[in-house]
Structure 1
Amino acid sequence: MEHMYSKWHHPYTPENKYSKKVAYFSMEFGIDQSFNIYSGGLGFLAGSHMRSGFELKQNMIGIGMLWKYGYYDQARNEDQTLRTDFNVKHFDFLEDTGIEVEITLHDNPHVKVRAYVLKPEIFGTVPMYFLSTDVENNDHLSRTITNHLYDNNPVTRVSQSIVLGIGGAKVVEALGGADTYHLNEGHALPAFYYLRDRGVSKNQMVFTTHTPEKAGNEEREARQLNRSGFFGRLLSDEELHNEMVNGGMINYTVSALRMAKKANGVSKLHAKVANDMWKDYDGVCEIIPITNAQNQKFWQDESIKNAWTARDADAYKKRKNDLKSELCDEVLHQTGKQFDPNVLTFVWARRFAGYKRADLLLHDFDRFKRLISNEKYPVQIIWAGKPYPFDYGAIDLFNHLIYQSKNEPNLAVLIGYEIELSKKLKCGSDIWLNTPRITREASGTSGMTAAMNGSVNVSTNDGWIPEFEKDNQNCFVLPALDYHLPTWDQDKMDTNNLYDILENKVIPTYYENPDKWQDIVFKGMDGVIPDFTSQRMADEYYEKLF
């Protein structure tokens, strides 16, 4: 029996202004806790986009990968340090579409890629197709390509891009083709090469760049990519030469910017930084800003929302206290420490990467000790986040924080940082600490969903924050500094500024002036809704990019 999702199908008639057929490619999607195939912000963002696409009745589908082991599961060694576990995942809610396509990988012209559908009624997303090479008749090596999100083996990583890009494009063809092909980051770049050869015009290709970080803008040796089947066919020396940059390399971002009609950065600041980064390469398209956002319906607590809408401070405080108690239970459950819902609670939680500076508070250790032992103004601090499983520097930092917090009753490092814990932290915290080095955080969406739930952003002025911030009114912002300074100097200045703000503004306001605090909380919600909800974002993609 033919599956109704084996052709382009939506359970609704798309709205007129969203009638263009869009296929959205992403390496990861964070849609629901039970579907843990994402690593961090890129996935959360893509998941929110798919939910809002459904809410707005857009004629869009998602194309992703069915990771057999997901990203990884966070566990602890016996001394509480981080252990990375890889467990096979089972998702009964996915259905086999019967669509199977073949791609050429390296010297194997018959690698099979199978598509499984996530129907809209499961999690309230547009129809989404997840690709797997763990298919009968594939050889052992081919079957392992879709094992691990962001596999550490470079050859496997290239193969994953080909599966998502060319395999994904062939699945879209099997569904009846799309009017617009949207790459969320450069991972699925082979799709553009394959589609270009099939006569799909530049006008139908768009691209989102997400990061100024080198690691997020992959660059690989052109000849090796040509051998591996990256371009959908073997390119001649001359053709290959036309694609190369930086002495024989293919830069995924540069290639995507050359092939797309238009691209976007993920905040106003990031679009500026990105245009500046890539301006010296010939033939790159314009990069406009479409600021990232998150799905309000999914992330905002309903009672918090009602209290904010009614401007009912008492109802808000009662609900916030309950949510803080739930977070304190989680801390107790994981660490055996009894946190108090009446104490000012700081959270630093996001992907663990060096430039995000999880340990900024510890850079001035004397002030840190004073902060956590102040009896007049008590505080509690929670860290959570997932380092890349092979980023030993980030894992070392994670373990350093565990070691530092071990004997402190009001410090905790939590594991299992996925959607469910993320929600608990955003709902249960008073302060959302966001400390990236300026210009390095393209957008940083965690603070948006924190603000939706009354957690006040204390942040460097990076990513989306400049578009939102009214300092001392809806958040607290560190003074801008010259980001060309050596990082040591930047860190020192930011640390001093962070402590000045905490000691003189944030903490006294919370304890001495609860009315002012409540005002900041509600104004934070005003500032983030609707401007930083993915309804606005999903609409802008149709209007400005597609």
Structure 2
Amino acid sequence: MDFKNFKIPYSINEKYTKKAAYFSMEFAIEQVLKIYSGGLGFLAGSHMRSAYNLKQDVVGIGILWKFGYYDQARNHDQTLQPTWTRKMYSFLEDTGIKFQIEIHSAPVWVKVWYLDPEIFHTAPMFFLSTDVPENDHISKTICHKLYDANESTKLAQYILLGKGGAKLLDEMNIEREVYHLNEAHGLPAAFHLLKKYNGNLQKVKEKLVFTTHTPEEAGNEKHNLRLCYDMSYFSGLSMEEVKKIEGSEGELFNHSLCALKMARIANGVSELHGVVSRAMWSKYPGICEIKSITNAQEFKYWGDKELYIAKDENNDTIFDYRKKLLKKRLFKIVADQTGNLFDPDIFTIVWARRFAGYKRADLLLHDKDRFYKLLNNSKYPVQIIWAGKPYPMDYSSISTFNTLVEESKNHKNMAVLTGYELSLSKSLKQGSDLWLNNPRVPREASGTSGMSAAMNGSVNLSTDDGWIPEFAKHGENSFVVPKCDYENMSIYEQDNYDLNKLYEILENEILPLYYDQPKKWRKVQQNAMNDVKDQFNSDRMADEYYELLYNPQK
């Protein structure tokens, strides 16, 4: 293939002819390609698959992480041990393209790898690497670890994604009308364009769109402006000129704020997150419009076909048999990792997602008496599984993970699994009866894991945050903790309120329904499968990106 004059290798649907490039730090495409950490990657992966389904004129741009995020292993006592192993990918094609970009006032070589759309049924994708012989050791390490803890390395990674990705498009003569940033990591692309257009910010705005995922200002990345400047983040723009664009006071550069100033339009990732984002950023003059486009997951990848066939044919026997089979498959993984033998006839709860403080992985354990009562309930027995990757330097979340591991040693019906990637995620969603999601409201921007769980007949029990308000009908397709006046509560009060409500719903509604009224439980499962299939399928999301972000004038 001639990558210097690249053409999309499939026929473009005339509805999606606007040429877009999608920049993301991580993509969860397939288990074998370990270049993702969590929800942002799962979202980006589903987007790339849907771009292929709809035959959109989109290319994906990311980084080829030599060691991925990290491999989640265990110490001798079962506690968490992050390990880094070099990844090998024979299915990626060497484009033969090499070019230089400036990082920290020095030229750094960038090599480019290509993922053909037919391999995993995605949009064409390009992955950037600095791990080439021409670079010094420090430059080589830029693409080693996703979300490196070192601040300078992290900024260099953003420059590689943004500036490197934008320069790649120039190198390939592949004109793009839309530069879509998934989070602000790729913002250096905007400064590359600003330089290319001789400082014409209006021309940059015509091309730039931005998806923001963070529902509170403190969570948006800020770095020392001088350090960003020294790292060559701004493609030659002076600090005064940058301040004029970004517009906040002080010595810190706010990446998301600057993206909102340089983009033509932006979107939050659920209706609630759009509302929260508009309120949060409205105090700053000159930001672009923020719409809402709710995140989604690709149905073809996540949904269990056999379950849907049984549901659509109204064959309850086959439906229940299939769900039990999926549970048995998951329980083989549980047995292999923990030595616990789980029973497919017993109600199984799963909490699985990135470990982060606000997601409250251990909330059920805040009331130990009630937790033990739940685990030892002979009338309504339960099994509980936890899984998820804390950030390797987030010692508080690692401590939570390890506390759960220690507690699990006392119970044969409690398990904590390692290796929460696409494969295990799919098994957990297929094999769970209940998908537990209890973030502090309104901290969860979207939280898509519950969507793909519902596509596998796993019923959501959630606090009323992220995408849940758009989906949930309590007792019909899911179960939801009723919202409270959280703004006037302390964190302690909020946690206590949510904890009590979760236990009440579990003890008084969910468990009696599952064991005493299996027909009604199956109806809840199937309602969830019906309600999630189209509205929260990423084909809808990818279509809305074109409709609301790329072609807003139509």
Query: Contact 1:445–1:464 at 8 Å: present in 2 too?
Result: yes
How much does 1:455 deviate? Answer: 0.1
Partner SS for 1:83: strand
Aligned partner of 1:540 among 541, 544, 553? 544
Q: Which moved more, 1:305-314 or 1:163-172?
A: 305-314
Partner SS for 2:60: strand
Partner SS for 1:498: helix
Q: Which moved more, 1:59-68 or 1:198-207?
A: 198-207
Query: Contact 2:477–2:524 at 8 Å: present in 1 too?
Result: yes
Query: Contact 1:452–1:528 at 8 Å: present in 2 too?
Result: yes
* CA distance in structure 1 between the partners assigned to 2:90 and 2:138 by the alignment: 25
Cα gap change, 1:111 to 1:87, in 2 (>3 Å): same
Query: Contact 2:204–2:263 at 8 Å: present in 1 too?
Result: no
Indicate yes or no: 2:115 matched with 1:118: yes
Partner SS for 2:436: strand
* CA distance in structure 2 between the partners assigned to 1:532 and 1:308 by the alignment: 18
Unaligned runs of 5+ in 1: none
Identity of aligned residues (%): 55
Partner SS for 2:59: strand
Indicate yes or no: 2:319 matched with 1:316: yes
How much does 1:243 deviate? Answer: 2.9
Spell out the pairing of 1:270-285 with structure 2 (5 A cutoff): 270-285=273-288
Counterpart for residue 136 of structure 2: 139
* CA distance in structure 2 between the partners assigned to 1:507 and 1:270 by the alignment: 31
How much does 1:244 deviate? Answer: 4.6
How much does 1:107 deviate? Answer: 2.8
The one-letter amino acid paired with 1:486 is: S
Counterpart for residue 417 of structure 1: 420
TM-score, with structure 2 as normaliser: 0.96
Aligned partner of 1:505 among 509, 518, 540? 509
* CA distance in structure 1 between the partners assigned to 2:418 and 2:27 by the alignment: 20
Unaligned runs of 5+ in 2: 198-202
* CA distance in structure 1 between the partners assigned to 2:425 and 2:241 by the alignment: 49
Aligned partner of 1:164 among 154, 161, 166? 161
Query: Contact 2:226–2:239 at 8 Å: present in 1 too?
Result: no
Counterpart for residue 404 of structure 2: 401
How much does 1:501 deviate? Answer: 0.3
Counterpart for residue 384 of structure 1: 387
* CA distance in structure 1 between the partners assigned to 2:101 and 2:3 by the alignment: 21
Counterpart for residue 445 of structure 1: 448
* CA distance in structure 2 between the partners assigned to 1:147 and 1:279 by the alignment: 37
Aligned length: 543
Query: Contact 1:222–1:244 at 8 Å: present in 2 too?
Result: no
The one-letter amino acid paired with 2:117 is: P
Cα gap change, 1:442 to 1:459, in 2 (>3 Å): same
Counterpart for residue 194 of structure 2: 196
Counterpart for residue 101 of structure 2: 103
Aligned partner of 1:129 among 113, 116, 126? 126
Partner SS for 2:326: helix
Indicate yes or no: 2:226 matched with 1:223: yes
Q: Which moved more, 1:353-362 or 1:246-255?
A: 246-255
Indicate yes or no: 2:3 matched with 1:19: no
Deviation by residue 1:418-441 (Cα, 9 ceiling, x = unmatched):
000000000000000000011100
Spell out the pairing of 1:206-285 with structure 2 (5 A cutoff): 206-213=209-216, 216-235=219-238, 237-285=240-288
* CA distance in structure 1 between the partners assigned to 2:87 and 2:104 by the alignment: 28
* CA distance in structure 2 between the partners assigned to 1:195 and 1:56 by the alignment: 28
TM-score, with structure 1 as normaliser: 0.98
Counterpart for residue 200 of structure 2: none
Partner SS for 2:142: coil
How much does 1:177 deviate? Answer: 2.2
* CA distance in structure 2 between the partners assigned to 1:184 and 1:216 by the alignment: 15
* CA distance in structure 2 between the partners assigned to 1:467 and 1:155 by the alignment: 40
Indicate yes or no: 2:369 matched with 1:362: no
Deviation by residue 1:110-149 (Cα, 9 ceiling, x = unmatched):
2111110000011000100000000121111101100000
Query: Contact 1:227–1:234 at 8 Å: present in 2 too?
Result: no
Partner SS for 1:39: coil
Cα gap change, 1:99 to 1:216, in 2 (>3 Å): farther
Counterpart for residue 530 of structure 1: 534
